[in-house]
A and B are shown apart, each in its own frame.
Chain A
Amino acid sequence: MIETSGLRKSYRSGRRGRTTTVDAVAGLDLHVAEGEIFGLLGPNGAGKTTTLRMLATLLPPDGGAATVAGADLLTRPAEVRRSIGYVAQGGGTWDEVTAREELVLQARMHGLAKAEAQARAAAAVDSFDLAEYADRPCRSYSGGQRRRVDIALGVVHRPAVLFLDEPTSGLDPAARARLWAEVRRLRDAGMTVFLTTHYLDEADALCDRIAIVDGGTLVAEGTPAELKRSIAGEVVTVGVAEPHLAPKAAEVLTAQECVRSAEVRADGALRLSVDTGESAMPQVMRALAGAGIATATIALHRPTLDDVFLARTGRSLEES
């Protein structure tokens, strides 16, 4: 449904002759299948918004090629526009008008006649469960309500592809869960959803497939399960009772045969990459006791998407 190859965008900010160039997106190849929720996961500044805005025809790419819903992004942006919906990170409604009025306007801007637009707005109010507040000015909505209206506005013309930029950023857990359900419902109705997020759990739980990006380039692409499987082995985290001994503990543990690598995380805990956690844990405890380092906590977990990010970039996504 969406194919990109070598997609590029640089921003130039010039201050009196001295210009600095930021390669926001530096050659991105993505493949998004029809009817899937595809997530672009990466830290702030990774180039997610820039990618999304290019694919939504809002920003001309500097290089590369892309097709969206079968139309070439560079040569037929008008055709692309007919098949897509787009919801910006901050949304966009006028304070003084109601959600219903906004839905009618948006449908009409997409070319629908008045009666048809009103029918679509009514259908959107029903399906997104907006009835309680759809006839109140947008100014009065909560964050979660506003976000649901934004998404309803993005799909009122029933596009084949929906772009969502950080759809749940700033929402409380309940509103977030609700929004995930809406997004899944759209996917189940056949829509292709392309979203960006910097939340690991969102990428993991909501997306069918994800691309991890950092510094404008692709770090990894696949289903969450595939990506996590690509990290061979398991992860053991160890908290030492005296944090200043953590570097020494890392040294001791790296020397152990069952430990592939050990590093000290920003919170002072040790993160060990091991083959099998069950057999490694007793050895780890023994080695630390032998070196006179007291262990406070020890835990075993399967690799997370953060471990994938860490393995490929050397940094933790949660900390960057």
Chain B
Amino acid sequence: MKSLRDTWLVFQRHLLLMARSPLQIFLGVAQPVVYLALFAPLLKPALASMGAGTMADAYRIYVPGMLVALALGGGLYVGFGLLAELGSGVIERARVTPVSRVALLLGRSLRDVVVLAVQAAVIIVLAIPLGLLVRVPDLLLAYLLLALISLTSSAVSYGLALKVGNPDVLGQLVNNLAQPLMLLSGTLLPLALAPLWLRRVSDWNPFSWAVTGMRELFAGHPGDPAVWRSLALMAAVAVAALLWSARRFARTVR
């Protein structure tokens, strides 16, 4: 009960901070928008192998992957903000209060989910005139999946930030983590083009499952087993990531 209240408190504060400097949200979405305009047309021939006959089809395959990439990539960088807060003393100010330590993590991670939701909305709205079509119930499920991915990536980023404590090291770590996870999930380039061994490796990447589930949702197949599988898998991964990171918070931010 107290953790819930405290989580709400921390979440509200970070939402307020975000509302006071909204530019960050839109800078975060700038790159995906450029990709939307430039990459998807380039990829159309490649996506043809996945059944994309028209530009609209290409966007229906490309956009879901990009949303996963955004949730994964964007979330992995939130740890830098935490390091800045550690340096500025605002975390220490919270530490001398009895505020729940888990709330310090959850409040921040939930803010990151909201940031992602806004960014995803921008991309979806921009992609609709290009032929993207998605039903509202499918979209809600897609948002749920995105929220789980974002919780995972931001929790991992906060945990790593506390572990390494240094922005330079964190930067290296995050880059080395994000690149293979992205490539091996077929977010930007479809894995259908990949050799068999690469596809086998990507079977071990939960984000690859998430991309498949996401594509089925945007294709209008919420009943496809890939959908519930990806939701269940990402829920498990998100819980594990949050538990790990919460332990780091409890230990470091004692």
Contacts and interface: CB of A to CB of B under 8 A. Distances in A.
Nearest to A87: B93
B94 interface: yes
A12 B94 CA distance: 26
A88 B88 CA distance: 10
Contacts of A134: none
Secondary structure type dominating chain B contacts: helix
A108 B9 contact: yes
A311 interface: no
A86 B90 contact: no
B89 interface: yes
Nearest to A113: B5
Nearest to B16: A97
Contacts of A108: 9
Interface in B76-134: 88-99
A58 B88 CA distance: 16
Contact of B94 (A84, A85, A109): A109
B17 interface: yes
Interface string A80-104: 0110111010111110110001000
Nearest to B85: A94
Contact of B90 (A60, A82, A93): A93
Contacts, number: 64
B52 to A, nearest CB: 44
A93 B9 CA distance: 16
Contact of A153 (B9, B93, B98, B254): B93
Nearest to B9: A108
A190 interface: no
B17 A97 contact: yes
Nearest to A117: B9
A4 to B, nearest CB: 18
A57 B16 CA distance: 29
A94 B94 contact: no
A125 B217 CA distance: 53
Given A92-B88, A92-B92, A106 B21 contact: no
B17 A57 contact: no
Interface in B57-75: none
A78 interface: yes
B6 interface: yes
A265 interface: no
A88 B98 contact: no
Given A106-B93, A153-B93, A78 B98 contact: yes
A57 B92 CA distance: 11
B92 to A, nearest CB: 5
A196 to B, nearest CB: 15
B9 A109 contact: yes
A190 B138 CA distance: 62
Contacts of A57: 95-96
B163 interface: no
Contacts of A82: 98
Given A97-B20, A101-B16, A109-B9, A58 B96 contact: yes
A96 B21 contact: yes
A210 interface: no
B13 interface: yes
B89 A90 contact: yes
A139 to B, nearest CB: 10
A92 B16 contact: no
Nearest to B95: A58
B96 A92 contact: no
Interface in B2-56: 6, 9, 13, 16-17, 20-21
A111 B92 CA distance: 17
Contacts of A85: 96
Given A92-B88, A94-B17, A105 B9 contact: yes
A91 B98 contact: no
Interface in A217-244: none
Contact of B92 (A58, A94, A96): A58
B8 to A, nearest CB: 10
Given A97-B16, A108-B9, A88 B21 contact: no
B96 A86 contact: yes
A241 B16 CA distance: 65
A93 B91 CA distance: 9
Given A92-B88, A93-B90, A97-B20, A111 B98 contact: yes
Given A93-B90, A94-B88, A109-B9, 11 more contacts: A78-B98, A81-B96, A82-B98, A90-B89, A96-B20, A96-B21, A97-B20, A105-B9, A109-B98, A110-B97, A111-B98
Interface of B: 6, 9, 13, 16-17, 20-21, 88-99, 254
9 contacts: A58-B96, A81-B97, A84-B96, A86-B96, A92-B88, A92-B90, A101-B16, A109-B99, A111-B98
